[in-house]
Amino acid sequence: MAIIIKTSQEIEKMRRSGQAVREVLEHVRKFVKAGATTQDLENAAVAKMRELNATPAFKGYRGYPCVLCTSVNEEVVHGIPSAKRILKDGDIVSIDTGVILDGYYGDSATTVAVGATVPERTRKLLEVTEASLGRGIEAVKPGATLGDVGAAVQEVVEAGGFSVVRDFVGHGIGTKLHEDPQVPNFGRRGLGQKLREGMVIAIEPMVNAGGPDVQVLSDGWTAVTQDGSLSAHFEHTVAVTAKGAEILT
Residue type, 74: E
Q: Three-state DSSP class for 91?
A: coil
pLDDT tens by residue, 22-41: 999 999 999 999 999 999 99
pLDDT tens by residue, 1-27: 699 999 999 999 999 999 999 999 999
What does pTM read for this prediction?
Answer: 0.97
CA-CA-CA-CA torsion for 138, 141, 144, 145, nearest 10 degrees? 80
Phi first, then psi, for residue 228 (nearest 5°) are 80, 5
Set out the domains of the chain in order of their start, with CATH numbers.
8-247 (3.90.230.10)
Phi first, then psi, for residue 184 (nearest 5°) are -65, 155
pLDDT tens by residue, 34-61: 999 999 999 999 999 999 999 999 999 9
Q: Three-state DSSP class for 161?
A: coil
In the predicted model, what is the mean pLDDT of the chain?
97
Separation between Cα atoms, residue 201 and residue 221, nearest integer Å: 23
The per-residue pLDDT for 37 is: 98
